[in-house]
A and B are shown apart, each in its own frame.
Chain A
Amino acid sequence: MQFFPFLVAAWILAVGLYGMVTSHHLVHQIVCLIVVQSSTYVLLLGVGYVRGGVAPYFFDVPLRTPAVDPVVQALALTDVVVEAAVSALLLAFAIQAEKRFGTLDPHELVRLKG
């Protein structure tokens, strides 16, 4: 059980990558990329967890209470923002690809471009 959250992160990464490789639709592929990125949230929060620790908010708990690492949580927030930015841009590219080539199948697009 000691490494279970890290194995969960690896599993999410693997299924996301598998989806990206076998995908036949650009929007589906972008969603798979979001799944891949979700694995980093699990990994980051898993690394920073302290057994028995509270959330790093000291509004209603005493200051010296053991708490989990706030730095990885801040990194996870950055991660979410970057993911939102990346998926918005990729969706815009997908719209233009559909308009230009009339298909959203990545294999079809590769064939059209040679």
Chain B
Amino acid sequence: MTPALRRWLFFAGLAGLMAFYLWGMKGLPGFGNYPGPYGFIINHIAVGQTNATGVVSAVNFEYRGFDTVGEEFILFIAATGVAIVLRRLRDEQDENPAPDEALDRAASRTSDAVKVGALMFVGPAVLLGWYLGSHAQTSPSGGFQGGVVLASAFVMIYLSGEFLVFRRISPVSLIDAVGAAGAGGFAAVGLTAVVLGMPYLANFLPLGTVPGAVSSSGTIALISFFVGIEVAAAFILIIGELLEQTLIVRQGRH
């Protein structure tokens, strides 16, 4: 197929798609005239029911908690998939230069400005990630956001040093265990409710007295914490696998 024909076919398909899209939009209430009762109901009852002032977190970890279990396992399986797809193949080996030589090269490649700049951000990244992960019930934050910020602290360490340091502070077996504990912890919170005679993922912990306090909202805060460490572990694993590829050479090509 020639590129021109390809493009022509695409535009024909796009025209059809857009025609249907515009037709469907005609039936929508305009922007800003949200009609649905569902969001309004949740907004009115969520704070009273869960003591969480962050209603999005209440939806994610309470009302729609079962979906979020699936969502978390999607990420877990994707990290596993990346590790499997990028596993060492038979004709691949580690690039193995003499250690002192490698250290020399790394030292001369990374400029001091990058090292200092990256290291300066490690502390704030850990603090911000921890804050986000532990305040899902209060503010626009939660485990997913906090986990990604926590993982970025490890990327900063990689930027300021080299891959070996990254691996030393985040050994694969430890990261695997942390990720599994996070994913399993979420599922275990749900099962604990079942053991206590409630529906799966029911909020069985005391909700606290002050809405929006860190100690409020029962399982919402707990689940957010588990999600945070699982997301951080999954991203560190994915980033580590992708970085490791730069160390692997294939026999016969180099």
Q: Does B36 make an interface contact (CB < 8 A)?
A: yes
**Does B117 lie at the interface of the complex (its beta carbon under 8 Å from any beta carbon of A)?**
no
Q: For the complex, what is the distance from the CA of A81 to the CA of B230, rounded to whole Å? A: 12
- Classify chain B's interface size: 35 or more
Which residues from chain A contact B3 at a C-beta distance below 8 Å? 22
CB contact under 8 A between A47 and B34, given known A55-B140, A93-B85: yes
Which chain A residue has the least Cβ–Cβ distance from B138?
Answer: A59
On whether A58 and B86 interact (CB within 8 A), knowing A70-B39, A81-B144, the answer reads no
Which of B51-59, B101-109, B169-177 binds A?
B51-59
Query: Are the CB atoms of B144 and A77 closer together than 8 Å?
Result: yes
Alpha-carbon distance A99/B56, docked complex (angstroms)? 43
The secondary structure that dominates the B interface is: helix
Q: Are A58 and B47 in contact (CB under 8 A)?
A: yes
> With contacts defined as CB atoms under 8 Å apart, how many contacts are there between chain A and chain B in the complex?
153
- Give the nearest-CB partner of B84 in chain A: A92
- From 18 to 62 in chain B, residues with beta carbon under 8 angstroms from any chain A beta carbon are 18, 21-22, 25, 28, 30-34, 36, 38-40, 42-44, 46-48, 53-56, 58-60
Q: Are B138 and A69 in contact (CB under 8 A)?
A: no
Please measure, in the bound complex, the distance between the C-alpha atom of A64 and the C-alpha atom of B47, giving whole angstroms.
11
Q: Report yes or no: B82 in contact with A92, Cβ–Cβ below 8 A.
A: yes
Contact string, B224-253, partner A, CB cutoff 8 A, digits 1/0?
000000010001001001100100001001
Residue of A nearest to B78 (CB): A85
Interface flags, A63-97, vs B, CB<8A=1, else 0: 11001111111100110111011101101110110
Bound Cα distance A71, B46 (Å) = 12
Chain B minimum-CB-distance residue to A71: B39
Contacts of B89 in A (CB 8 A): 99
Across the interface, do B86 and A51 meet the contact criterion of CB distance under 8 Å? no
Interface of A is mostly: helix
Contact between chains at B43 and A84 (CB < 8 Å): no
Contact for A88 among B68, B72, B238, CB less than 8 A: B238
* Identity of the chain A residue whose Cβ is nearest the Cβ of B32 in the assembled complex: A51
B66 within 8 A of A: no
Question: Which residues of chain B are near A82, meaning CB under 8 Å?
Answer: 71, 74
Check A17–B14 contact: CB distance below 8 A.
Answer: yes
Q: A22-B6, A57-B56 are in contact. List 13 more A-B contacts (CB 8 A).
A: A2-B31, A3-B30, A6-B25, A6-B28, A18-B10, A59-B212, A69-B40, A81-B71, A81-B72, A84-B148, A88-B82, A92-B86, A96-B86
